[in-house]
Structures are given as structure tokens and as C-alpha cells.
Amino acid sequence: MSDQDKRVAAEAAVKYVKNGMTLGLGSGSTVNWMLQCLSERINEGLQVRGIPSSKKTEKLARELGIPLVDFSTTTHIDLAIDGADEIDGALNLVKGGGGSLVREKVVDACADELIIIADSSKVVSQLGTFPLPVEVLPFGYEVTMKNIERLGGIPVLRRKDKEVFVSDNGNYILDCQFGKIEDALGLHGKLIQLVGVVETGIFAGMVEKVIVARNGQIELTER
Ligand code: 5RP
């Protein structure tokens, strides 16, 4: 993973930001670079406002002086910029490595356009090496784990510093190994029907542009 490539991808994405836009602000280390680049443009006079997809993004955006709004003010996002854990050739994604998948999906899904930024380590021929994050209700999560096992997955309750990881929504994350994922949307459909599942980290058919940086060079893929 290259921090320089994350920054290169972030800089390229910020070029698509236009004056007056409402932006969806994704989450993760690549998005943190994007927030830096965005704040530089704001300091030069760009006028935008953002809706953050996690408490971490909200905190950094505030520190960087990026104006923020929430869904009580607007339900329309012109452009969302987010990261990913895996990106396949059909621009399907696995997201949620940072545990923000629910808010990311809410923000990304209501944007007119979604741009994904990543270094080249995120590009895969098939999804599934990165365990699929699934956000679940804490109540009865043991039952939800069993039901995920019945679908062929191997779920692991996410922990951080030995404590159970709790999402911004107060929920748990199950990191689920399904092997290579042949049918991303089909798997999402089965998981989302399970009682106790809040959302899955499969983002299928949502992306307009993927900007990958490889050794400092941009690779742009458009749907
Ligand atoms: C968080 C996410 C992130 O976008 C994803 O994990 C990528 O993060 P990074 O840019 O740090 O590799 O989905 O829930």
C-alpha cells in the first residue's frame, strides 16, 4: 500500500469537485488525503459543503475547515468520493474495512455520482480475498452468525484492542470469509434478508468512476 498513491488518487478526484457542490465524504485513509486536498482548494476559494460518512471523517473535516451539513438540511448529494477495500473489473466493491459501511452506503447511494479512489493494491480480478464486512445488530448476533454460516460464510466478530468493535451506529461488524465471490449482488441479497443484518459491505452497481493510482500514475475506469 502506498500513501503517495493514495494522495495521487485523492488529488485526481478533487479535480471533479465544482463550486457549489454538496459532497459525500467517504471514510478511510485514502479519503483522509482527499479531505486534505479539498481543504487546500477551499482555502483557495472553492465553495462546497460536505456530508460525512463517519464520525472520524466528520472530526477531520471539521479540523480542516470543510463546511459540513447533514441530511436534515439536504437529501441531495452532487458527488460522493469514497475509498474501497476491493474493486473488481465490473466496478463492484467490498467496503467496510474501517467499519463505516452503513453510513458510507447511505451517503454514496444518494449521490448523483460516486467516485472511488484507491491505490492499486485494491484492484482484484474477483472479490472475496478481503473478508466481507457485514454490520449486524448486537442483539442476537450469535444467531446471525449461525445464519451466515448456513449461507456458506465464515463470520468473525470484529474486535479492536481486544474489545468488540462497535460501529458509529452502535452495531457489531462480522468479517465474513466466503471465498471468491462469484455473484456479488446475489450474495448481498441473501445476506440482507437475514434478520439482524443491517447492511453488507458489497457495493454493486453504484460507482461511476474509479480512480486508481499505481506508482504515481492515474488509471481511470468509468462505468
Ligand atoms: C471504511 C471503508 C474504507 O473506504 C475502506 O476501508 C478503504 O480504506 P483505506 O482508504 O484506508 O484503505 O470502506 O468503512
Residue 2 has a pLDDT of 75
Place of cell 474495512: 97
How many of the other CB atoms lie within 10 Å of CB of 65? 10
| Cα–Cα distance, 223 to 178 (Å, whole number) | 26
C-alpha to C-alpha distance for 178 and 83, rounded to whole angstroms: 22
Which of 25, 30, 106 gets mutated to test ligand 1 (max ligand atoms within 8 A of its CB)? 30
Cell of 10: 485523492
Burial of 78 (0-12, 13-18, 19+ CB in 10 A): middle
For the annotated catalytic residues, the residue numbers are 104
Mean pLDDT, contiguous 10-residue spans, the chain (223 residues)? 90 98 98 98 97 98 98 97 98 98 98 98 98 98 98 98 97 98 97 98 97 97 94
The residue type found at 59 is K
How remote is the CA of residue 98 from the centroid of ligand 1, in Å? Answer: 5
Q: What are phi and psi of 5, to 5 degrees?
A: -65, -35
**CA 74–ligand 1 middle distance (angstroms):** 25
Q: Tell me the CA–centroid distance for residue 94 and ligand 1, in Å.
A: 9
Instruction: Provide the annotated binding site for substrate.
Output: 27-30, 82-85, 95-98, 122
The length of the chain in residues reads 223
Place of cell 471514510: 27
From CA 99, how far away is CA 92, in angstroms rounded? 18
Contact residues of ligand 1, CB 6 A cut-off: 26-30, 82-85, 95-101, 104
DSSP 8-state class, residue 185: H
Distance between CA 133 and CA 138 in Å, rounded?
15
Nearest CA to 24 among 51, 61, 63? 51
Helices first, then strands: H and E counts in the chain: 6, 15
Across the beta sheet with 172-177, the strand order is 154-157, 172-177, 132-136, 197-200
